[in-house]
Amino acid sequence: MQTRRGFLKLTAAAGGALAVGPRALGQAAEPASMAIARCTTSPQEAEAIQAMAVQLTTQAIEALGGMKRFVKSGDVVWMKPNMAWDRTPDLAANTNPDVIATLVKMCFEAGAGKVKVGDFPCHEAKLAYKSSGIADAAEKAGAEIVFLDESRFREMNVGGKILKNWPVYPEIVEADLVINAPVVKTHSIAKMTLCMKNYMGIANDRQKWHQNLSDCLCDITKFMKPRLCVVDAIRILTANGPTGGNPADVKRMDTVAAGTDIVALDAFGATLLEFKPEDISSVVAGQAAGLGTMDYKSLNPKELTVA
């Protein structure tokens, strides 16, 4: 059985191996636009799984050029996880709390003045924040945990095809950086929920979106102008999403991906659920709207393996 100490030795060795590249040889390497970090050993102990999540998240961000590429000194950062459900981390209905905590720490290390973490849950907010483990982990990492007050949503000019003026949460929109950090899940209506759909958590009256869901997701994505998305695929929810609740629907993928192309990351996530990107209407619509490419391999993502 993999132990925490053994896992950390292996990951340290892997990190050293990853350093041998153009930058190590004195050449200026172009930052990747997408990175995929995978673990090949499938640790079983809780501490080893936690260490793996930290390592994969760190490696994925570093492969993009590091968090300082996105965070400037004094920035206010809003971390937008999936934190909508009264479900524990093992059920993969919410983003892995160790992925979020690692991102929070990296933001502060890059010079962020404040990091806020919040979502607009479907289940009762206090229960979802607690059960997910995200509020506790993020707060310990130094983040401010925000419960979105429904009275503070404000009509803003989204300027989209369907969403013209819509109530959104101003604190999120006004942050210097919003990090979109969902978990990979199936969805009963959209087939899959990932980065584009995660933006639903910044808006009110979302039930009105479902008749034109793909267009609405394109509208809100264009409005948000995504700069950094991080995909949690430590555990993925392969059925009965987005709510989940059955351990049999959860699959370990031990993967974290990150990048600047939201459509490419959604397309990659679709493949983890054994969909073709062209089978996901929001991915197709996102590419057609000029929000990114569903041919994620064309970006030559930097692929990292942690043993």
Between CA 7 and CA 96 the distance in angstroms is 19
- 37, 63 in Cβ contact below 8 A? yes
Q: Where are the alpha helices (DSSP H) in 28-77?
A: 46-63
Distance CA(252)–CA(244), nearest Å, equals 15
Give one word for 191, left, alpha or beta, with left for phi > 0 and alpha for psi -120 to 50.
left
The pLDDT value recorded for residue 294 is: 97
Query: Number of structural domains, the chain?
Result: 1
Query: How would you classify the pairing of strands 76-81 and 177-181?
Result: parallel
CB 96 within 8 A of CB 234: yes
Secondary structure (3-state) at 38: strand
User: What predicted TM-score, i.e. pTM, was given to this entire model?
Assistant: 0.89
Q: Nearest 5 degrees, angle CA 260-CA 255-CA 175?
A: 35
Domain of residue 123: give its range: 4-306
Kindly give the residue spans of alpha helices, DSSP state H, lying in the chain. 4-18, 46-63, 97-109, 125-132, 134-140, 170-173, 195-198, 213-224, 262-272, 281-288
Q: Rounded CA gap, 231 and 249, in Å?
A: 19
> What pLDDT score does 287 carry?
98
Here the CATH number for the domain that contains residue 127 is 3.40.50.11440
Respond yes or no on whether the N-terminal peptide bond of residue 81 is cis (omega within 30° of 0): no
Per-residue pLDDT of the chain (307 residues; tens, 9 = 90+): 444 444 444 444 444 444 444 444 445 567 899 999 999 998 999 999 999 999 999 999 999 999 999 999 999 999 999 999 999 999 999 999 999 999 999 999 999 999 999 999 999 999 999 999 999 999 999 999 999 999 999 999 999 999 999 999 999 999 999 999 999 999 988 999 999 999 999 999 988 898 899 999 999 999 999 999 999 999 999 999 899 999 999 999 999 999 999 999 999 999 999 999 999 999 999 999 999 999 999 999 999 998 7
Residue with tokens 């679709």: 270
pLDDT at 198: 97
Q: Which residues contact 138 (CB under 8 A, 6 or more apart)?
A: 79, 97, 100, 101, 104, 115, 117, 145
